[in-house]
């Protein structure tokens, strides 16, 4: 597999606005931010999706995301933040390397997740609930 852009950032082959790094993860500012202060948290080892990542890596990613979010809130004065994580191209994952977006938010920033709400038809919820529970 050809190396991805995040792997090249981890190796120092591509410069980044690095925020924090340890043995497992690193964080840097997104060069195409939704809002100023938008950062990414990535595992240093290449994995494409959340499901492929080891538990210790995920724990380190989310704890780092929390630390980065707190720093971003202080630096930007943001009112809140989103942590977004996409898996697969259909979900909006552009770079096939696991990453968490930490996006500072303001009530008037114009960014929308476009969330829509659906409904279950008769017995769909119960049937799906049982199927999922059997797989857990």
Write phi, then psi, for 35 (nearest 5 degrees). -135, 155
Set 38, 97, 99, 101: catalytic member: 99
Residue linked to tokens 């909006």: 92
Residue in 75, 93, 76 with CA at minimum distance from that of residue 84:
93
pLDDT on residue 20 = 97
Bridge partners (DSSP) listed for residue 40: 28, 101
Q: CB–CB of 49/88 below 8 Å?
A: yes
Domain boundaries, the chain: 5-135
pLDDT on residue 114 = 87
Catalytic-residue membership of 99: yes
pLDDT digits (tens, 9 = 90+) for 56-100: 999 999 999 999 999 999 999 999 999 999 999 999 999 999 999
Q: What percent of the chain shows pLDDT beyond 90?
A: 93
pLDDT digits (tens, 9 = 90+) for 33-45: 999 999 999 999 9
Q: Is the pLDDT of residue 2 over 70?
A: no
**Gyration radius from the chain CA atoms:** 17
Q: Is the pLDDT of residue 25 over 90?
A: yes
- CATH match for 5-135 among 3.10.20.90, 3.20.20.70, 3.30.428.10, 3.30.1780.10: 3.30.428.10
pLDDT on residue 3 = 81
What mean pLDDT do residues 100-118 have? 94
Report field, pTM of the whole predicted structure over 0.95: no
């Amino acid at each position: 597999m050809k190396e991805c852009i995040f792997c090249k950032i981890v190796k120092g082959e591509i410069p980044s606005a690095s925020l924090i790094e340890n043995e497992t993860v690193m964080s840097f500012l997104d060069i195409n931010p939704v809002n100023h202060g938008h950062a990414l948290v990535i595992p240093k080892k290449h994995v494409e999706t959340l499901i492929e990542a080891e538990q210790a890596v995920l724990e380190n990613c989310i704890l780092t995301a929390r630390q980065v979010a707190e720093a971003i809130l202080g630096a930007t004065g943001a009112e809140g933040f989103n942590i977004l994580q996409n898996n697969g191209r259909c979900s909006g994952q552009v770079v096939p390397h696991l990453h968490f977006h930490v996006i500072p938010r303001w009530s008037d920033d114009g960014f929308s997740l476009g969330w829509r709400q659906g409904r279950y038809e008769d017995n769909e919820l119960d049937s799906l609930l049982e199927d999922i529970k059997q797989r857990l």
